[in-house]
Amino acid sequence: MIKVALLDDNVSELSNMAQLLDLYSIEKNISIEYGVFNNGLDLISSLEKGKTFDVFCLDIIMPGFTGIETAREIRGFDKNAPILFFTSSTEYAYDSYSVKAINYVLKPVTKEKFFFIFNELIDQTHAVKQEESLIIRTGKGIEKLLIANLTYLEVMGRSVFYHLNSGKTISCNESFSKISDKLLALGCFLKPHRSYLVNMKYLDTIKDNQITLLTGDRIPVAQGKTKEIRDTYLSYQMKED
C-alpha cells in the first residue's frame, strides 16, 4: 500500500492526477490510497491529526499558501517522504531544492510523463523499504529511523531515547513496552535490562554484568541475566553466519 497526498487548487488538475493514480495502480498492480486537497492548510491539518503519506504531489502556484510553503511545513512532520512538484512555471525550481523535493515536473502531466516519474519513485521507495525502519513521533514531528542505525534505546521516566550510530540521540514520549515488543520481534535486539534495548549488530563484549558496544557505550545487564544474554547473542551470531 502506497499512500499519496495530492494538492492542487485546480479541480480539473486534481481529477487528472487522481485518474492517473488509479490507472497506474491497475496497470502496475500496486495498491495506492490517496488523499485529495485543494489547499495546503487542509493538508497540513490532516498531518497534525496524525494522517501520514508516503508521497506528496504538490502544485506550487496557489493563492495564499503556496506549494513551497506547504512543503516546508510537511518537512516538520516527515523529513524523508518524497515530494514531487507539479507546476506550470520553471521559476520555482531552485526553491524546490530547499525542501528536498525529488522531482520538479512541468504541466500538463501526461500519462507517459506520470508513469515514468512514478516508476522511478516506486523503484527508489522499494529499495529504501528493503531496510527495516521505525516511525516515531517526536516533539519536532514524525521521523523515520533505520533500524540498522540504532545502537541502543533507553527509557527514563516517560521518555524513550533512541541512540544512533552517528552519535545523535532522539527522544519521544511513547510506550517503551510496545517499542520493545516491536524491536525484539525483529530478532536483532536484546533486552539486557528493563530500561534498555540493544542492537546486537553493535555489541562488542558481555562482561561483569555489562555490555560494551562498538561505539564505546556501556549498558547494564540485570542481575542474573548475563547467561541468558550471552546465549541470545550467540544464537544471533550463528544465524548471521
Identify the CA nearest to 188 among candidates 199, 179, 180. Answer: 199
Q: Where in the chain is the domain with CATH 2.40.50.1020?
A: 139-240
Direct distance between the N- and C-terminal alpha carbons of the chain, in angstroms, rounded to an integer: 33
525483529: which residue's cell?
Answer: 186
Tell me, what's the pLDDT at 241? 54
Tens of pLDDT along 87-135?
Answer: 887 776 777 777 878 888 888 999 999 999 998 887 766 544 445 788 8
Q: Where are the alpha helices (DSSP H) in 52-110?
A: 67-77, 93-97
Radius of gyration of the chain (CA): 22
Instruction: Name the percent of the chain in helix, strand, coil, to the closest 5.
Output: 40, 30, 30
Tell me, what's the pLDDT at 190? 95
- Record: fold of 139-240: OB fold (Dihydrolipoamide Acetyltransferase, E2P) (2.40.50)
Residue 201 corresponds to which amino acid? K
Tell me, what's the pLDDT at 128? 47
Tell me, what's the pLDDT at 127? 47
Q: How far is CA 5 from CA 35, 44, 109, in A?
A: 5, 11, 16
- Record: fold of 2-129: Rossmann fold (3.40.50)
510537511: which residue's cell?
Answer: 74
Q: Where in the chain is the domain with CATH 3.40.50.2300?
A: 2-129
* Alpha-carbon span 198 to 188, nearest angstrom: 8
Tell me, what's the pLDDT at 161? 96
Tell me, what's the pLDDT at 125? 62
Cβ contacts of residue 131 below 8 Å, gap of 6+? 146, 147, 148
241 residues of the chain, pLDDT tens digit each: 789 999 999 999 999 999 999 999 999 888 899 999 999 999 999 999 888 898 999 999 999 899 999 999 998 888 878 999 998 877 767 777 778 788 888 889 999 999 999 988 877 665 444 457 888 888 878 888 888 899 999 999 989 999 999 899 999 988 899 899 989 988 899 999 999 999 999 999 998 899 999 999 999 999 999 999 999 998 888 776 5
Tens of pLDDT along 168-180?
Answer: 999 998 889 989 9
